[in-house]
Amino acid sequence: MEWETIPEMVLSAADRFGDAEAVVDGSQRVTFVELADRIRRAAGAFARAGIDKGDRAAIWAPNSVEWIVAALGLVTAGGVLVPVNTRFTAAEADDVIGRSGAKIVLVQRSFLGREYPGRPGVPTIDLKSGFLSSGSPFERKVDGSDIADIVFTSGTTGKPKGAMMDHGQTLRMYAEWCDLADLREGDRYLIVNPFFHTFGYKAGVIASLIRGATILPVPVFDIDHVVDLVGREEVTMLPGPPTLYHELLKVAGSPQLSSLRAAVTGSADIPVELIRRMRDELPFRSIMTGYGLTEAGTVTASRPGDSFERLATTVGAPCDGLQVRIATDGEVLVRGYSVMRGYLDDPVATAQAIDAEGWLHTGDLGSLDDDGRLRIDGRKKDIFIVGGFNACPAEIEAVLLQHPAVAQVAVIGVPDARLGEVGRAFVVARTRLTEAELIAWSKERMAGYKVPRSVRFLDELPLNATGKVMKEQLVHYP
């Protein structure tokens, strides 16, 4: 690999790709040379604002060229990126920002009608304010083993945990990802995956700068807008969760989609029928499926030339340098260079996730075929996935129990044709309460993907002898 650190790779793109377009965001068309200059100036702004090597800064904002400049300017200044989920409520965001120890928070004002109230002593800066262009060009030396980012993910306890990754891990993983995903120099890559997610930031922004692809950031997914951009900008690369391709299939045959060449999916369980329809009805000539998680990046992937049967029934073979094995209880275990450095300030959770032999316990259930390709059979953890986003029942239940009419509650994921899974709450009520009332109340207190889409009222929850809710019985409830 040519580079040891993310700033080294990013800034070298100016020499490697010159005046080719690096980012197209609305009316802004930024070349690789211009992007490198903006990143250096942003690094200077962070340094002047007090960011030293190893200091953390959070970004709570949608996909944009400013997000890219802020994130990469921060790491060029030696800082550590903490991307924050834009679907979070202000309270949820504040919890993550507070525990991350961020010295600065960058936000986009009024995105999705939400404002961040700020924390005492922590500057909150508008991403669009001119801050990023206010510094003098600057770079601070960092090493490949230095932590580059802390991406928060939900565990079985429902408390988001910050997975720490270093520069070297990210560069090695996503250099290989470029080959597996068929990302090429000159590709035009429409990024609908949020930048706060590994799929958007690392398999999106970082991969594009490694390979020399043009980034087209999409702040909020809207199928009409996406189709228009694909046609107008001749997009070739369009990864995303299965939800994205379900929407594209509704307009299959549109001449605006004719430029599409490469697809990548794997954020949720992938229906066999979806892969078949993507192959038969959309213009993609390359489809990659894979399995990954925040704590280890992309773990397995299909390979170019794989048969339809392999694409549709497995999530591919382990990536280079990674091992996958199945524990006696069926849990998928992963070991290798890309496994996170640990959870921020949580040695107990780290030890629970990574055993003494270095195996990461994923919480997913799976099996390996005779060729070593992984099949995901379900989730050992209680988490369900809504349109590519992890939703933790324990976290949702804790919020629902704050409603004065809710005495007991259990949340599970149920199948949904568009989003893969959505939440359903089973409630034992103290006083009169309707489904519509509880859902409306929930929308004010948690991110949209966490809000239950349906509510069932019971006289009592099914409990085992130790008092634990037997959720397997709720799955079959009408």
Crossing angle of helices 65-76 and 32-48, rounded to 10°: 60
Phi, psi of 321 (to 5 degrees): 85, 0
**Extents of the domains making up the chain:** 6-374, 384-474
User: For position 23, what pLDDT does the model report?
Assistant: 98
* Topology alike, domains 6-374 and 384-474: no
Q: In 204-356, where do the E strands start and end?
A: 214-217, 262-265, 286-293, 297-301, 317-318, 322-326, 331-336, 342-343
The CATH number of the structural domain formed by 384-474 is 3.30.300.30
Q: Is 78 in contact with 53 (CB distance < 8 Å)? A: yes
- Rg value, the chain, Cα: 22
Nearest CA to 455 out of 403, 380, 378, 381 is that of 403
Alpha-carbon torsion 423, 426, 427, 433, what sign? Answer: positive
Phi, psi of 45 (to 5 degrees): -65, -40
Beta bridge partners of 475: none
Q: Is 317 in contact with 371 (CB distance < 8 Å)? A: yes
> Cα separation of 478 and 475, whole Å?
8
Beta bridge partners of 59: 83, 106
> Cα separation of 284 and 238, whole Å?
9
> Cα separation of 284 and 301, whole Å?
17
> Cα separation of 326 and 110, whole Å?
46
Nearest CA to 189 out of 72, 66, 22 is that of 22
Phi, psi of 414 (to 5 degrees): -125, 155
Length of the chain: 478
> Cα separation of 173 and 192, whole Å?
21
Query: pLDDT per position in the chain (478 positions), as tens?
Result: 689 999 999 999 999 999 999 999 999 999 999 999 999 999 999 999 999 999 999 999 999 999 999 999 999 999 999 999 988 888 889 999 999 999 999 999 888 777 888 889 999 999 999 999 999 999 999 999 999 999 998 543 467 899 999 999 999 999 999 999 999 999 999 999 999 999 999 999 999 999 999 999 999 989 999 999 999 999 999 999 887 898 899 899 999 999 999 999 975 456 677 888 899 999 999 999 999 999 999 999 999 888 888 888 899 999 999 999 999 988 999 999 999 999 999 999 999 999 999 999 998 888 999 999 998 876 676 788 899 898 888 789 889 989 999 988 999 999 999 999 999 999 999 899 999 999 999 999 999 999 999 999 999 988 754 456 888 889 888 8
3-state secondary structure of 289: strand
The pTM assigned to this predicted structure is 0.85
Q: Is 153 in contact with 294 (CB distance < 8 Å)? A: yes
- 6-374 architecture in CATH? 3-Layer(aba) Sandwich (3.40)
Structure tokens at 390: 């992890």
